[in-house]
């Protein structure tokens, strides 16, 4: 049920928030083996009763009043439960404050059902074949409908919770594809906003230049409504300040876009095969129905490794974060985490911690000339889509895969499921120009309406 339908049901008293939360808890318990949820908030039912009482008095806090949502377990929520990033080393991290994202959700009346599992440290833990969705705190998240399929990370639990109907909406986060990838694999919608549109404050970090929270849902409209809630300036995160912003991400979704061009990304010497060609043909027809022209753009197979910058950024950001929450966990530095894992090797180092140790060997200094030059060169490569869209007057580019350009350069992107073909989940990923999130969401919404009207093969 969409946010709009949930609001209508609540307004018409066909269901209460207490009932919605209890249904979510029941659904979580039904699918407990999938391990989507790390912890149910002890406040959830209490909050639901409060929202119901407020509704009875005619007090509606906002667009999410009385609606349950799960947040990724790297987002601080001061409900007395730990926020761990699925890392046993942070089992004692009881948040001293709410992340900006959480504050905005609660201000709009949302009920935080609990925290969703993820890949440990948002899949920035080890190079040694660590599975997506695994962590030493809560274990392995499983794919919602076919456990032979890799659920991908790191917002794995958030995606699985939505697909299983535990909640209709969730918040994940992305550094390098962690919203797009699990949405793709679980066949839900996810939106990664322009970097800086959503505050990072209160989120266990990887990269201060790439990290962002984002919405996950079954449809684009719900993602847009969530963006209206979670986006905004936050003085505690300078990257959010002084950016061009739309007044609303959701208000004009149904207004027709003027006929535009969408670039289909293809790769020289690596032609698309089989299922991807089916998805491309379907997507092209839908876009043409909307009046858009699809133009093919052939590029070299991208080599966008950002490990060299992320390792430096992770050490810097993690040490800064642990300083910010000092006293709320015994961990005070990345070195502490590494030492804790070594002392608890059997539980914590099943797949090693090669990324953590390699990061700790860097300077962790964002003013280091070598880091600055490496980051500059990386951004030049990652700007390819942005420059391409401007030069060719494209409303967006699309591909049946997610790629590193958008997360590294900060472009918005959206994943729309295309069904399971020959046992393999397929989706179309659209990337827009920076600060053009409203138009990208509008394109995605109208594309999904056409898709739904044609009832494609969905799982």
Cα dihedral 171, 175, 180, 185 sign: negative
Is residue 154 annotated as a catalytic residue, yes or no?
yes
Tokens at residue 428, please? 């179309």
3-class DSSP state for residue 1? coil
State the average pLDDT for the chain: 96
67: which residues sit within 8 A by CB, 6+ positions away?
Answer: 3, 6, 7, 10, 17, 20, 109, 110, 111, 168, 169
| pLDDT average, residue stretch 12-18 | 98
- Domain positions in the chain: 3-240, 261-305+379-453, 307-377
CA distance 292 to 6: 33
pLDDT the model gives residue 4: 97
pLDDT the model gives residue 153: 84
User: For residues 248 and 226, is the Cβ–Cβ distance under 8 A?
Assistant: no
CA distance 113 to 404: 32
Residue matched to tokens 């009482």? 53
Tokens at residue 137, please? 């705190």
pLDDT band at residue 416, thresholds of 50, 70 and 90? very high
Looking at 72, 163, 315, 442, which residue is catalytic? 72
List alpha helices for 31-91, DSSP H: 44-56
Q: Is the pTM for the entire model greater than 0.95?
A: yes
Does residue 376 carry a pLDDT above 90?
yes
Q: Which run of H or E residues covers position 7?
A: helix 3-11
Does residue 116 carry a pLDDT above 50?
yes
CA distance 113 to 286: 36
Does residue 246 carry a pLDDT above 50?
yes
Tokens at residue 371, please? 């880091």
CA distance 178 to 225: 20
| pLDDT average, residue stretch 348-372 | 98
CA distance 98 to 236: 12
CATH number for 261-305+379-453: choose from 1.20.120, 2.60.40, 3.40.50, 3.40.190.
3.40.190
Does residue 53 carry a pLDDT above 70?
yes
pLDDT the model gives residue 181: 98
Does residue 456 carry a pLDDT above 70?
no
Distances from the Cα of 396 to the Cαs of 35, 235, 276, 309, 332, in angstroms?
36, 31, 19, 27, 43
Task: Return the beta strands (E) in 306-412 as ranges.
Answer: 394-399
- pLDDT, tens digit, 9 for 90 and up, residues 60-86: 999 999 999 999 999 999 999 999 999
- pLDDT, tens digit, 9 for 90 and up, residues 286-303: 999 999 999 999 998 777
pLDDT the model gives residue 220: 98
pLDDT the model gives residue 80: 98
Q: Does domain 3-240 correspond to CATH entry 3.90.1300.10?
A: yes
pLDDT the model gives residue 268: 87
pLDDT the model gives residue 379: 97
Q: Residue 242 forms beta bridges with which residues?
A: none
pLDDT band at residue 270, thresholds of 50, 70 and 90? confident
DSSP 302: P
Does residue 317 carry a pLDDT above 70?
yes
Between CA 10 and CA 19, with CA 16 as vertex, the angle to 5 degrees is 135
Looking at 132, 136, 178, 199, which residue is catalytic? 178
pLDDT band at residue 364, thresholds of 50, 70 and 90? very high
User: For residues 121 and 155, is the Cβ–Cβ distance under 8 A?
Assistant: no
- pLDDT, tens digit, 9 for 90 and up, residues 128-181: 999 999 999 999 999 999 999 999 989 999 999 999 999 999 999 999 999 999
Residue 277: left if φ>0, alpha if ψ -120 to 50, beta else—which one? Answer: alpha
Q: Strand pairing of 293-299 and 424-431?
A: unpaired
Looking at 17, 41, 136, 154, which residue is catalytic? 154
* Phi, psi of 292, deg, nearest 5: -95, 155
pLDDT band at residue 455, thresholds of 50, 70 and 90? low
Is residue 136 annotated as a catalytic residue, yes or no?
no
């Amino acid at each position: 049920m969409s946010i709009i339908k949930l609001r209508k049901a609540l307004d018409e008293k066909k269901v209460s928030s207490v009932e919605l939360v209890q249904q979510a808890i029941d659904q979580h318990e039904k699918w407990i083996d999938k391990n989507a949820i790390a912890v149910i908030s002890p406040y959830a039912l209490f909050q639901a009763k409060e929202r119901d009482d407020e509704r009875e008095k005619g007090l509606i806090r906002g667009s999410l009043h009385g609606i349950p949502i799960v947040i990724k377990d790297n987002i601080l929520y001061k409900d007395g439960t730990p926020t761990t990033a699925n890392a046993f080393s942070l089992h004692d991290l009881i948040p001293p404050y709410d992340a900006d994202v959480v504050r905005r959700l609660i201000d709009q009346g949302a009920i935080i059902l609990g925290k969703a599992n993820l890949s440990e440290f948002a899949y920035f833990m080890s190079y040694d074949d660590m599975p997506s969705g695994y962590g030493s705190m809560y274990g392995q998240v499983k794919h919602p409908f076919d456990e032979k399929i890799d659920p991908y990370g790191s917002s794995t639990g958030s995606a699985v919770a939505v697909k299983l109907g535990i909640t209709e909406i969730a918040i994940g986060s992305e550094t390098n594809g962690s919203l797009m990838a699990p949405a793709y694999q679980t066949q839900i919608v996810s939106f990664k906003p322009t970097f800086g549109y959503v505050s990072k404050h209160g989120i266990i970090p990887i990269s201060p230049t790439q990290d962002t929270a984002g919405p996950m849902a079954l449809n684009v409209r719900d993602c847009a409504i969530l963006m209206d809630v979670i986006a905004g300036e936050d003085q505690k995160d300078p990257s959010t300040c002084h950016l061009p912003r739309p007044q609303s991400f959701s208000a004009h979704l149904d207004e027709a876009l003027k006929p535009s061009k969408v670039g289909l990304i293809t790769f020289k010497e690596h032609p698309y095969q089989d299922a991807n060609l089916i998805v491309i043909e379907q997507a092209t027809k839908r876009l043409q129905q909307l009046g858009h022209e699809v133009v093919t753009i052939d590029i070299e197979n991208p080599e966008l490794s950002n490990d060299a910058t992320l390792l430096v950024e992770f050490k810097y950001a993690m040490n800064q974060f642990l300083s910010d929450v000092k006293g709320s966990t015994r961990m005070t530095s990345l070195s502490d985490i590494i030492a804790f894992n070594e002392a608890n090797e059997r539980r914590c180092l099943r797949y090693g911690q090669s990324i953590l140790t390699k990061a700790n060997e860097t300077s962790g200094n964002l003013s280091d000339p070598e880091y600055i030059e490496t980051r500059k060169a990386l951004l030049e490569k990652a700007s390819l889509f942005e420059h391409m869209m401007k030069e060719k007057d494209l409303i967006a580019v699309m591909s049946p895969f997610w790629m590193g350009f958008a997360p590294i350069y900060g472009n918005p992107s959206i994943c729309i499921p295309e069904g399971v073909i020959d046992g393999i989940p397929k989706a179309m990923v659209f990337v827009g120009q920076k600060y053009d999130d409203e138009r990208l969401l509008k394109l995605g919404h109208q594309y999904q309406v056409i898709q739904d009207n044609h009832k494609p093969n969905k799982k």
